[in-house]
Structure 1
Amino acid sequence: MAQRLKRKPQILRKLRRFSVRLSQLQDIGGFRIIVHRNADVDSLIQFIKERTSGTEDYSIEKITDYREKGRDDTGYRAVHMIIKRNSYFLELQIRSRIQHYWAEGIERTSVIYGYHLKEKEGAPEVIAYFKELSNAFYEIESGRQPDSNHKIMIEKLRLACEQIIKESEKFKVFDSFVNLDVIKALKEVEGNSKELNNWILVFDWNQGNFTSWDKVSLDPEEAVKKYVDYENSFPAEDGFEVVLIGSTNVETVSKTHSHYFGIESYDHILENLDSSIVGFSRKIDIDIGAVQILATLHRRHFWGKKTVTLDTIKNHFCKGILSIDSSMQDLINKDLVIYKNGVYSLNIQKKRIIEQYI
C-alpha cells in the first residue's frame, strides 16, 4: 500500500487534453485496487454497490467498464467508478493483475521512449502495438489463446516499434539500475520504523536521475507547503518532476514508482508475447508474501550452504508477512527454497527463475 499527491503537471496536461475546468475533473482524488482475476473485479464492484447502497455519505455516480473492448485510443483495460462523498468526487480504478501488468508495461515504455503513450503521444505504431497486446491479454484472461495471425502481427509490430524507440531523440534517458542507491539512502533515514512516512522525491528527466529527496512531515498542511516550495525550486518546465508519496516501507516506492529506477536491459525494450505471458504468469503464481521472502533471502545472499532459520526470517527479516508459513511452504513446493535440517536457503539451480520472480 502506498499513496501519493497527484502531480500538478499531470493535472495541467489533462486539463489541456480534455479542455475542461479544474472543477470538472473527477479523478483529482483517486485510488486503485488490483485483484487477481477479472471475475474478482465483478465481485468487488458488487461489494461496493452493496456497501454504498442506502448510505448518505457515499454514492456511485458512474461506472465505466473498459475491460471487454479496451479504450479506443490505447487498449487500456480497467473499470473506473466515480464515487461521490460529501460533494467530492473520487475515482476508483479496479484492475485485474494482467490488466495492471499491461499498464506497467506501457508506463515503463513511455519513460524509455520519452512520450506519454497513454495520452496518445508518440508514433502510431507504438500505440498500436500496446493496443494489440492488450487485446491478446484479454483473450488469454478469457481462457482463449490468440490465433497465430494475431501473434505474428504483434511480433512484427514489436520489432518495428523497438526500432522507432531506439531512433527517438529522447531514447535512453536511463542507464541500467541507475537509481537503486537512492532506495538504500532512504532506507537508512527510515530506519526500522514501520510507521507511515512522507517523502518528497525530485526527478530530473534531463539527466535521468534523482536530484533531491527529503523526508517530510505527516501533517498535511506542512507536507503540501514543502511540496509547493520544491515545485517552485524545481519547475516542471525545466524538466523536473516533484513527487510527494507516503509509504510504510520505502522499498515499496521502487515498485509503485518503478519507472524512476531504470531498466535491466536495452537489448529487448518490448517483450514479445510469449515473454509477456511467462513474465505475467510468474508474477501471479506465488503470493506477495512469497515474493517478499525471495527478495529478502536474495538480498542477504542466502544461497546453498549459507542458511537461515524460519525464526530469524519471521522475527527479524520479514516481520510484516502474515502468510509467512504458507508462503514459505509454497516456495519449498516449487523447489525455489531448499529446507534441510531445520534451515532454509535459496536453490542456486533456480537462480535465474528466482530473479525473474523478484
Structure 2
Amino acid sequence: MVELRFSKKQINKAGEILRIDGKDFNLDELIWAYDVLNNLREMYVHPLNAFQTTLRRKMKVADTSAIASQRLKRIPSILGKLRRSPGMQLARMQDLGGLRAVVGSIDAVRKLEQSYINNPLNRFKHLLKSQKDYINEPKKSGYRGIHLVYQYQGATNPNHNGLLLEIQIRTKVQHAWATAVETMGTFIGQSIKSSEADEIWNEYFSIVGSAFAYMEGCNPVPDFAHLTREETFKKVSQMTEKLQVIEKLMAFRVVIGDINRNSGSYHLLVLDTATQTVQIKSFGLRRIGEATNEYLDWEKKAENNPYMQVVLVSTESVGNLKAAYPSYFLDAEEFIKLIQHIQAESL
C-alpha cells in the first residue's frame, strides 16, 4: 500500500517551489518538489478506486449506458492552478483525484446527482464539501456540468482521510463541448479551457455552450442570455464558418492501433500532436506504483515539448478509453455533429 512520505508542511513547501518553477531554489529542491507531488498523487489511487465502485453502482440506476472514468490530475494542470491562484496550498487542492460520469440526458444527470446528496438511505459515508451546479448557472466560458467535492472519511489508511476528491457529472452534449475545447486548445497552443486564449476563441466556445444549453432545454450562458435560441444558433453558424472550426477539428484526428490489444486497469496515454499519434501503455492493479512513476517520467519529457500531452487514467474497460477521453485522441466527432445540427437549423 502506498504511504504518504511527507508532512502537510512539506507538501505546501513543494507547492511553493513548483509555483515559481524552482526560481530561487536549486535543482535538488525542484526534484524533491516533484517527488512530493507524485507521492501526494499516488495517495489518491485507493480512494479513487473506492469512489469509482460506488459511482458505477449508482450509474446503473441513473443510466445503464453511462461511462465512468477516473484520473490523477496532470502536472501541467496542477502547476497552472497553483500559478493562477497564489493563495492556494497544494495540500488543499481539491481535484488531484477526479472522477467523471458521462450520461445521456439532463434527467440522468439529476438522478445521479440526487443519488449522492438527497437519498435518505444514502450509505455514502464521505463528507460533501462543495456542490457546484454549472448547468443551472453555466460558467462564462460555456462550461456546463455538476461538480461534487467530497472529503474522504473512514479509511483504514489514516493518510487517506481528509483527501478531497471531485466527481463531475456531464451529459454527452456537455462532454462533447469540453472535448472540443481541449482539442482546439491543444492545436492553437492556448488554454481555451481557462479562458486564456485569444478572445475570438473564448467567445466562440462560450456562445456554443449557450447554444448547447438551448438544445438541452437549460439556462444559456449569462453573456448570451439576451439572445434567443434562433439568434444564438445563427451566431454560432457564422463564427463556425469564419473560424473554419469543423475543418480544423476534422484535420486533427490521430492515428491509433487496436485499443483492445491493451489490457489492465490503468492506462498511460501519450499524445504527440506533431505526428498525430497516441501511445497507450496499460498497467494492472498491482503495478500502480510503476504506472505513477512512469507517468511522472513522461510528464518531465513533455514539460518542454509543446506537442506532447500525457495522462494516466482508468476506465471500466479499455474499449471505453476513447469515449471517456476523446480529447486525447483528438476526436471531436460528436461536437461536429452537434454544430452541423445547429447549422442546419439556422438555415
Settle same-fold status: TM greater than 0.5.
Answer: yes
Residue in 2 that maps onto 1:29: 97
Q: Which string of whole-angstrom CA distances, capped at 9 and with x for unpartnered residues, describes residues 37-92 of structure 1?
A: 223333322221245888693121221111123102x1111111111122121111
Alignment of 1:188-337 (within 5 A): 188-190=261-263, 196-210=264-278, 213-219=280-286, 220-232=288-300, 234-239=301-306, 240-247=308-315, 249-262=317-330, 273-275=339-341
Picking from 175, 179, 184, the partner of 1:100 is 175
1:60 matched to 2:135: no
Higher Cα radius of gyration = 1
Q: Secondary structure at the match of 1:149?
A: helix
Pairwise CA RMSD: 3.6
- Structure 2 distance, partners of 1:39, 1:139, is 15
- Structure 1 distance, partners of 2:83, 2:182, is 20
CA contact (8 A) 1:111 1:259 kept: no
AA of the residue aligned to 1:32: R
AA of the residue aligned to 1:60: L
Residue in 1 that maps onto 2:43: none
Alignment of 1:122-201 (within 5 A): 122-142=197-217, 146-162=228-244, 177-181=253-257, 184=258, 187-190=260-263, 196-201=264-269
Query: Relative to 1, partners in 2 of residues 1:53 and 1:29: Cα closer, same or farther, differing over 3 Å?
Result: farther
AA of the residue aligned to 1:59: L
Residue in 2 that maps onto 1:14: 81
AA of the residue aligned to 1:108: T
- Structure 2 distance, partners of 1:96, 1:243, is 22
Residue in 2 that maps onto 1:315: none
CA contact (8 A) 2:252 2:276 kept: no
- Structure 2 distance, partners of 1:245, 1:272, is 27
Query: Higher relative CO (CA 8 A, sep ≥ 6), structure 1 or 2?
Result: 2
Count of aligned positions: 259
Residue in 2 that maps onto 1:89: 164
Picking from 115, 121, 139, the partner of 1:71 is 139
CA contact (8 A) 2:135 2:218 kept: no
Query: Relative to 1, partners in 2 of residues 1:60 and 1:246: Cα closer, same or farther, differing over 3 Å?
Result: closer
Following superposition, the deviation at residue 140 of structure 1 comes to 2.3
Alignment of 1:46-57 (within 5 A): 46-51=114-119, 57=125
Provide the TM-score with structure 1 as the length reference: 0.61
- Structure 1 distance, partners of 2:104, 2:165, is 23
Following superposition, the deviation at residue 109 of structure 1 comes to 2.3
- Among the aligned pairs, what percent are the same residue? 24
Picking from 95, 115, 121, the partner of 2:196 is 121
Following superposition, the deviation at residue 213 of structure 1 comes to 4.4
Residue in 2 that maps onto 1:333: none
Following superposition, the deviation at residue 98 of structure 1 comes to 2.3
Q: Which string of whole-angstrom CA distances, capped at 9 and with x for unpartnered residues, describes residues 234-275 of structure 1?
A: 24223333322334543322222323335599xxx9667443
Query: Relative to 1, partners in 2 of residues 1:204 and 1:128: Cα closer, same or farther, differing over 3 Å?
Result: same
CA contact (8 A) 2:326 2:332 kept: no
Query: Relative to 1, partners in 2 of residues 1:2 and 1:140: Cα closer, same or farther, differing over 3 Å?
Result: closer
Query: Relative to 1, partners in 2 of residues 1:221 and 1:135: Cα closer, same or farther, differing over 3 Å?
Result: same
